[in-house]
């Protein structure tokens, strides 16, 4: 069964990366990471020497970073090709997964409307409703889970991490959020099986 796992890389030094993240990255058959076009990217530099020789890399080359204000029309124009290309790549990846697939949206909000791509305070950051619709057409099912205030309030309860990992832990959904996702996903999976 194919799985997509997102992991943090710690504060930027491979020696300070979580043991689980290290293990997952070394075992990955495919990895995706953001980088500015033409650059190696911080995430890729951190994992240098850790990847299997056969790993397939998906460098998500962001066309602009600080050259244009994020609220300018030119910024949106520059990003349009990025979004279209990544929607096409995700569709191609989905089309090559044998069996049934579920596209999962997990966030604090519903996907932003098309054209609402630039919101540096929204999470997930680089995905909008147009991308979801494009990719969704190639999945067997779609599940949108908005994190409930109650689950968000539980925060780090039940999580184990080193003191240096607390800043990263504060940014990820905690166990209560995962339980909500699992309960909702179970319903979808029963329907597909």
pLDDT digits (tens, 9 = 90+) for 114-154: 765 455 555 555 677 888 899 999 999 999 998 888 888 88
pLDDT of residue 90: 86
d(CA 96, CA 78): 29
pLDDT of residue 183: 93
d(CA 71, CA 76): 8
pTM above 0.85, yes or no: no
pLDDT of residue 15: 80
**Res. 157: pLDDT tops 90:** no
Domains of the chain as residue ranges with CATH: 1-62 (3.40.1010.10)
Q: How many residues does the chain have?
A: 193
Where do the DSSP E strands lie in 95-152?
A: 102-107, 141-146
pLDDT digits (tens, 9 = 90+) for 42-53: 888 888 999 999
pLDDT of residue 80: 79
Q: CA triplet 147, 149, 154: central angle to 5 degrees?
A: 95
pLDDT of residue 4: 63
């Amino acid at each position: 069964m194919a799985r997509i796992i997102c992991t943090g890389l710690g504060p930027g030094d491979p020696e300070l990366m979580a043991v689980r993240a290290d293990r997952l990255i070394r075992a990955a058959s495919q990895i995706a990471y953001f980088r500015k076009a033409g650059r190696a990217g911080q995430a890729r530099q951190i994992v240098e020497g850790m990847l299997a020789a056969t790993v397939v890399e998906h460098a998500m080359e962001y066309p602009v970073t600080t050259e244009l204000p994020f609220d300018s029309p030119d910024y949106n124009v520059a990003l349009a090709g990025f979004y279209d290309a990544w929607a096409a790549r995700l569709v191609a990846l989905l089309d090559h997964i044998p069996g049934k697939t579920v596209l999962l949206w997990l966030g604090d909000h519903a996907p932003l409307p098309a054209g609402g791509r630039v919101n540096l305070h929204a999470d997930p950051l680089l995905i909008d409703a147009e991308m979801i619709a494009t990719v969704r057409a190639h999945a067997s099912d779609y599940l949108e889970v908005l994190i409930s205030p109650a689950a968000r309030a539980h925060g780090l309860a039940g999580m184990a991490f080193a003191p240096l990992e607390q800043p990263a832990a504060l940014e990820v959904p905690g166990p209560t959020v995962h339980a909500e996702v699992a309960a909702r996903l179970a319903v979808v999976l029963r329907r597909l099986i």
